[in-house]
Amino acid sequence: MTFNLTLLLCDNMLVSSTTLAVEIFKFAQTAALANRDDVKEVKIRWLSPNGKSVKTSAGFELQPTHSIDDVFDSDLVHIPAMWRNPKPVVDQCPSYIPWLQNQHKKNSKFTAVGTGVCFLAEAGLLDDKPATTHWHYFDQFQRRYPKVQLERQRFTTQLSEFLVGLLLDRHSVTFFTRSVIYLNQQALKAKDKESMAMRLWRRHKYGFRII
């Protein structure tokens, strides 16, 4: 059995908002194996709209493994945060919108970091649902997506198929740890969820600051 993790790529993305997700999933898988739990293989795909590389906020390029025209299953779709104003990037990637809507119809689950939530909102997948984003873009987000229930006082929001949060030092760790625990039963089947959360926290609590 395989757990399919798809990582969306876009220009001006914050690399750490994707690589941290991969690292924690890999660590969770290793920890489950060390505990001799039943573990699914985690298949990771890096996705761009056309299969071409994207230029990150750090100035270097990331090469995807797939485009949206490729056919594959996604148990979890992860959407990164974008540096500064997310609107230009979302507008430059209109083909992601029907793709995300189709993944939702296929019962994929989603995690989104910071301004990456705009892709889900643009697709209408957060209409009448709670969500949060980077505080600097609260007003812009609410104007553009009035049907979304913007939670200005929360760092994360969680529904059965969506988990969104911010990339803010310990909150980034909390967000990704929660996502791993939340998806644990389906993805990794680890029995000792509480101790795994503590191991994830100890491993990743250092080195992150507000971006």
Average pLDDT, the chain: 80
- Residue that wins the pLDDT comparison between 154 and 101: 101
Judge whether 211 lies within some domain. no
Distance CA 131, CA 147 (A): 11
- If we measure between CA atoms, which residue out of 191, 192, 188 comes closest to residue 25? 188
Residue 59: give its domain's CATH number: 3.40.50.880
> Can you give the pTM of this predicted structure?
0.81
At 80 the pLDDT is 93
At 50 the pLDDT is 97
Judge whether 209 lies within some domain. no
Query: Domain residues for 38?
Result: 2-204
Q: How many structural domains is the chain composed of?
A: 1
